[in-house]
Amino acid sequence: GKMNKEEKKNVMDEFRKGSLQVLVSTTVIEVGVDVPNATVMVIEGADRFGLSQLHQLRGRVVRSSYQAYCYLIATAKTQEAVERLESMVKYSDGFALAEKDLLLRGPGELMGERQHGFSGMRVADLIKDMKMLEPARQDAERLVSEDPNLELPSSSFLRRYLLKEFGDASFLLGVA
């Protein structure tokens, strides 16, 4: 964390060439580092990271035909942390991990700033209920194209609900 840019570059060059056999780093190596001969990674405090970050880190050692190992060192204190770590052991596929992350952390706010968590407006499982959600999406598109400002009498209930749920939702109106 305290090395300047030139020092970091020199260390990475030495590691890439094989002059250095071990690299101790922060999560700065999560992206952009490609060293095919790097085959072992130890992640200390793995229970403090999210699934996407753990998957990115693990991906740094799975870059060639060599057998690679990623060891997760953790003292998980919550059930969610245990489930994240178990998912890392069970899945290597990024899409499977993303689905698990969505189930664990929640989809966040549909009309807000929070990128994770569960909102009060939870009506479906975004993954399991896809067959049901697709016709609902099509109905919503039709409704918005026919009545973009929700001004028709048939849309009054929905308009009142949206204003109650989201407060001054004038930014929602006319978005079609």
The pLDDT tens digits for 71-99 are 999 987 889 899 999 999 999 998 899 88
What is the pTM for the complete model shown? Answer: 0.62
Model pLDDT for residues 96-121, shown as the tens digit of each residue? 998 888 888 777 655 555 555 555 54
User: Same domain, yes or no, for 77 and 137?
Assistant: no
DSSP 47: G
User: Same domain, yes or no, for 86 and 168?
Assistant: no
Which spans in the chain are helix H?
A: 5-17, 51-58, 79-90, 94-105, 130-146, 156-166
Distance, CA of 171 to CA of 146 (rounded, Å): 18
- Give the SS3 label for residue 42: strand
pLDDT the model gives residue 176: 45
Q: Is 113 part of a structural domain of the chain?
A: no
User: Same domain, yes or no, for 67 and 99?
Assistant: yes
CATH number at residue 50: 3.40.50.300
User: Same domain, yes or no, for 145 and 99?
Assistant: no
User: Same domain, yes or no, for 139 and 67?
Assistant: no
User: Same domain, yes or no, for 43 and 90?
Assistant: yes
User: Same domain, yes or no, for 69 and 147?
Assistant: no
Residue ranges, the chain, pLDDT below 70? 1, 32, 108-126, 166, 168-176
User: Same domain, yes or no, for 84 and 146?
Assistant: no
User: Same domain, yes or no, for 80 and 136?
Assistant: no
Q: How many domains does the chain have?
A: 2
Distance, CA of 97 to CA of 57 (rounded, Å): 13
Distance, CA of 172 to CA of 65 (rounded, Å): 51
Of 80, 82, 34, 25, nearest to 59 by C-alpha is 34
Q: Is 111 part of a structural domain of the chain?
A: no
Distance, CA of 155 to CA of 137 (rounded, Å): 16
* Containing structural domain, residue 136: 124-176
User: Same domain, yes or no, for 145 and 77?
Assistant: no
Q: Is 117 part of a structural domain of the chain?
A: no
Q: Is 115 part of a structural domain of the chain?
A: no
- Give the SS3 label for residue 30: helix
